[in-house]
Amino acid sequence: MKKAILVVSFGTSYPEVIERCIAPVERAVAVAHPEYEARRAFTSGMIIRKLKSVYGIEIDDIKTALARLSDEGFDEVVCVPTHIIGGFEYDKVYNTVSEYADKMKIKITKPLLHSSDAFAEVIDALNIKNDGVLHILVGHGTEHEGNLIYSAFENKIKSLGYSNVLVGTVECHPDLDKTLENAEKTVYKNVILSPLMLVAGEHAKNDISVEWKNAFEKKGFSVKCDLRGLGEYEAIQKIYSNF
């Protein structure tokens, strides 16, 4: 029986960021499951086209990757999306995987933040301490109902005894203004901004380290940025590998 793992990410148009944030997850999954052949796919067509035109790097979209596996005679495929929440991009992966259910034995793993237990695993993996610093985790955000996960994640963090963690998003709720408002209600004056994203790409470089940092500094906070993508954390890589 031929078995494969397809690790599916939104992607990034920066090759060095692929190597820093995405490839380590793929390697960890492959090492944890040596009986499977590991493959890669991205969901962003724009990123796939840019990588090919600018760098000559060819990466399959998920439909092409699954069709290739089917044509090559794979009997069993585990699709591992690296998405953080169950939003539009995860739905896209799920729906495409469902189309191949009659061609091979196929299953899809859940997004990183999918349950209360998963929330606890992730906060532990980030190694955040009650250290007198306000840690602000900045996710992407989405108009999808899955955006509610960010608030649920923050509530779980607080229930675990961390009063020094807030969760915000770049593109939805809680946005920068709301996160800043919440931060001003705390006793903390020192802030660390970190991406709650697999990849530390454009949002980390432009939104978090510029717009968010400047906004917090204007309100009198002392701000540092930890711009590691989640894919760079060994403990997060292990979570993705555990299925």
List, by residue number, the catalytic residues. Answer: 140
Q: What is the C-alpha separation between 125 and 204, in angstroms, rounded? A: 20
Cβ within 8 Å of residue 47, ≥6 positions away: 10, 11, 12, 13
Q: Are 115 and 109 in contact (CB under 8 A)?
A: no
Tokens (6 digits) for 215: 């906004």
Q: Are 157 and 177 in contact (CB under 8 A)?
A: no
Alpha-carbon distances, residue 180 vs 158, 195, 211 (angstroms) = 17, 16, 12
Alpha-carbon distances, residue 34 vs 24, 68, 119, 159, 237 (angstroms) = 15, 20, 27, 38, 16
* DSSP bridge pairs for 107: 78
Q: What is the C-alpha separation between 98 and 123, in angstroms, rounded? A: 31
Q: Are 109 and 79 in contact (CB under 8 A)?
A: yes
Nearest CA-CA partner of 36 in 84, 91, 75, 92: 75
